[in-house]
Amino acid sequence: MIEIVKRVTSALIAAPVFLYLTWLGGWVFIVTLLTVSVVIQLEIVRMIANKGVEVQMPMVLILGIPVLLISVLPDVAWILFLTLLLITLIIETFSTSGYGWRRLMVTLMVALLIPILLSGLLVLRSIGTTETGFAITATFLFMVWANDIFAFIGGRTLGKHPLAPSISPNKTVEGFFSGFGGSFFALYLSMTFLPDLHFDWKIAIPFAVLIGLFGPVGDLAESKLKRVAGIKDSSGLMPGHGGLFDRFDAMLFAAPAAAVYFQILQLFSAF
């Protein structure tokens, strides 16, 4: 019961703050995502350190910055990324570590993967006018959060069939499909109460389906990494929730999926 109270209290504080920063948009939102990216990267470094895996810590933290900025400053960000990448390669080439190239590969993965995935949120926020971009991004957040809540409740009350027992024994098929219900419920509320969300159901339904599919996959991906690392939570940053990686795991997969979906719609002038 105490853990549930902690979980709800943390969510009631963190969710409105993140929504407010999303509403502000612009560089405030970019800096917010950069901060989230760095924290998650630090959590991942801590996780893999349990298995004796080394990284180039400075490059992990700075190499991903231009990656996240490519969608808003493509030319400058690309030049900065190439410069930092060359520096990373030079450092590892002259390193005396016996695991130099393994360290290089892990450094690049941790440095690039999280900001690349988070950039999906920047793409969503930049769609259309600032009001439309916020409405779409807020709807995305509501659907991800509702998916998680409904999946948790559905799994606890109805769950009988394991979804992926070798990765996360507590997740069930019933919880997975309950999560879809949460995504559609949040979508319906957003379409009802957000006037700047100019959706019809032909656009909205695939959007909710993508969240229902990719959100849980992101959750499972983090669970798999935690199982390999032998830890329960990515950190203790958020009482009742763990770390930022624990809170953003579903978004990390769902955001780029949603971004690709809307880019395709815009490409064919369907939105």
The confidence score (pLDDT) of residue 99 equals 66
**Percent of the chain topping pLDDT 90:** 57
184 pLDDT more than 70: yes
The confidence score (pLDDT) of residue 139 equals 97
Average pLDDT on 98-121 reads 87
Average pLDDT on 171-190 reads 94
pLDDT, averaged across the chain: 89
Average pLDDT on 151-157 reads 89
Average pLDDT on 18-33 reads 95
Please report which residue ranges of the chain form alpha helices under DSSP H: 2-24, 26-49, 57-69, 74-93, 100-125, 130-158, 173-193, 201-229, 244-267
1 pLDDT more than 60: no
208 pLDDT more than 90: yes
100 pLDDT more than 70: no
Tokens for 178, please give them.
Answer: 């309950």
pLDDT in tens, 233-254: 777 777 666 789 888 999 999 9
The confidence score (pLDDT) of residue 256 equals 96
**Percent of the chain topping pLDDT 70:** 94
pLDDT in tens, 28-80: 999 999 999 999 999 999 888 877 888 888 888 899 899 888 878 888 999 99
Average pLDDT on 74-97 reads 87
Strand partners of residue 172: 162
The confidence score (pLDDT) of residue 156 equals 87
pTM score of the predicted model? 0.93
Q: How far apart are CA 81 and CA 66, in angstroms?
A: 5
pLDDT in tens, 127-149: 999 999 999 999 999 999 999 99
Look at 22 and 4; give whichever has higher pLDDT. Answer: 22
CA angle 210, 185, 116 (to 5 degrees): 30
Contact predicate 136/197, CB 8 Å: yes
The confidence score (pLDDT) of residue 56 equals 87
Tokens for 160, please give them.
Answer: 């009988």
**110 Cβ contact partners less than 8 Å away, ≥ 6 residues apart:** 41, 44, 45, 48, 55, 60
Q: What is the DSSP letter of 169?
A: E
* Contacts for 184-188: CB closer than 8 Å, 24+ residues apart: 184/208, 184/212, 185/146, 185/150, 186/139, 186/142, 186/143, 186/145, 186/146, 186/147, 187/139, 187/142, 187/143
Strand partners of residue 128: none
